[in-house]
Amino acid sequence: MAAELRRIEAGGSVLRLRQQRLSCAPQDRGMYSVLASGRPLANMKRMAPPKTTAIPHPSPDFDFATFLADSTAQVNRALDRFLPKAAAKPSTLHRAMRYSLFAGGKRLRPALCIAAARACGGRPADALPAACAIECIHTYSLIHDDLPAMDNDDFRRGKPTNHKVFGEGIAILAGDALLTVAFEILGHATARPRYSHRDLLRELASAAGSLELVGGQVADLEAEGQKVTPAQLRYIHERKTSALLACAARLGAMSANASPRHLAALTNFGHHVGLAFQVIDDILDVTRTSQELGKTAGKDAAAHKATYPSLLGLERSRQIAAHLTRLAFAALRPFRGHAVALEALATHLLRRQA
């Protein structure tokens, strides 16, 4: 158990990095030979975390609330342009897609994508197609997660779930349509010298596919009611949650033609932030009300799902989340103070209450 716990807490899964499609120009592949070979990076050494929830502080001069509001507004306007209008035939399908996509989500994944682009010297506008594509993938996964055959939830983002409003058939098709339109939207991205359109599309397809997001959902379903080890729990969360967050960071970096060193750093950052996000999500499920969360609280326990609190307890879970956030901060060292938006986002995710 001790060894497995260290694997959960240390982060930097070699398997995860080996599976990623680290596409770049031939002249830039030297750095990636380390990742692809399965040898851990120097700043990804396995270590037991200190028993503390203290984390580094982001720059006090950075206004994260304003950044998040501005990026959310940009993404919402872009999504409205990219998606078919609600009245377009078949209108029931397009209303269902828009119902969940504009239901008041926090837009954290698009914000991560835009913040990663900024850290690499890129423009937020250039990251918008990737940011919107990521949000469509995320929303499709929520629609399907809420279906009776999966998590069977009645509320999402404080509103009735898609299938409660439009019926199960339309909800399934709305999720399917959001999944496919994500790739259409990403096609609007501008290719960069290091990253072609093929690289961008493969990146998103890999993160959303059977080895990552969907594979994590399958593992989560199969683990219900089973005795799960810490290593198995990490496997689920690396794929179900962390994969798409890491993809958001990587696509943002690619939109800015990031160097291999910066892309690797943001892969590392997104991986740890994604795991920390899921640990906090597990904690909130047992410490907050349905009204506070905007979704049914206590669902994980009722469904006998494996979570960090159920396996390790609340206090140890908080320590793990803080440790993962410290590792995320450490991953940003190559940016030498130019990744303040990412630091603020990591802190926000750790301290969020819903």
Give the pTM. 0.84
200-205: long-range contacts at Cβ-Cβ below 8 A with a sequence spacing of 24 or more?
Answer: 200/130, 200/251, 200/254, 202/21, 202/23, 203/21, 203/23, 203/247, 203/250, 203/251, 203/254, 204/130, 204/133, 204/134, 204/137, 204/247, 204/251
Distance, CA of 287 to CA of 30 (rounded, Å): 46
Is residue 343 within 8 A of residue 63, CB to CB? The reply is no
Which sign does the torsion angle of CA 306, 176, 83, 168 carry? negative
Distance, CA of 91 to CA of 182 (rounded, Å): 19
Question: 210-222 burial by CB neighbour count: b if 16+ within 10 A, else e?
Answer: eebbbbbbebbee
For the chain, what's the residue count? 354
Distance, CA of 46 to CA of 40 (rounded, Å): 9
Helices (H), 87-146: 91-101, 108-119, 124-145
Q: Is 158 left (phi over 0), alpha (psi -120 to 50) or beta?
A: left
pLDDT of residue 53: 54
DSSP string, 221-251: HHHTTS---HHHHHHHHIIIIIHHHHHHHHH
Is residue 272 within 8 A of residue 325, CB to CB? The reply is yes
Name which of 269, 243, 266 is nearest 15 in CA terms. 243
Name which of 30, 32, 96, 25 is nearest 268 in CA terms. 32
User: Dihedral through CA 65, CA 104, CA 82, CA 172, nearest 10?
Assistant: 140
Other Cβ atoms within 10 Å of 226 Cβ, number: 10
Distance, CA of 106 to CA of 89 (rounded, Å): 29
Secondary element (H or E) of residue 63: none
Distance, CA of 325 to CA of 331 (rounded, Å): 10
Name which of 103, 97, 241 is nearest 182 in CA terms. 97
Name the 3-class secondary structure at 88: coil
Report CA Rg, the chain.
19
Reading the chain (354 residues) residue by residue, the pLDDT tens digits are: 445 445 544 444 433 443 444 333 333 333 233 233 333 333 333 334 445 556 666 667 789 999 999 999 999 999 999 999 999 999 999 999 999 999 988 999 999 999 999 999 999 999 999 999 999 999 999 999 999 999 899 998 889 999 999 999 999 999 999 999 999 999 999 999 999 999 999 999 999 999 999 999 999 999 988 989 999 999 999 999 999 999 999 999 999 999 999 999 999 999 999 999 999 999 998 887 666 556 566 666 666 778 899 899 999 999 999 999 999 999 999 999 899 999 999 999 998 876
Distance, CA of 137 to CA of 175 (rounded, Å): 8
pLDDT of residue 103: 94
Is residue 264 within 8 A of residue 41, CB to CB? The reply is yes
Q: Which domains does the chain have, with CATH numbers?
A: 61-351 (1.10.600.10)
∠63-67-68 over CA atoms, to 5°? 120
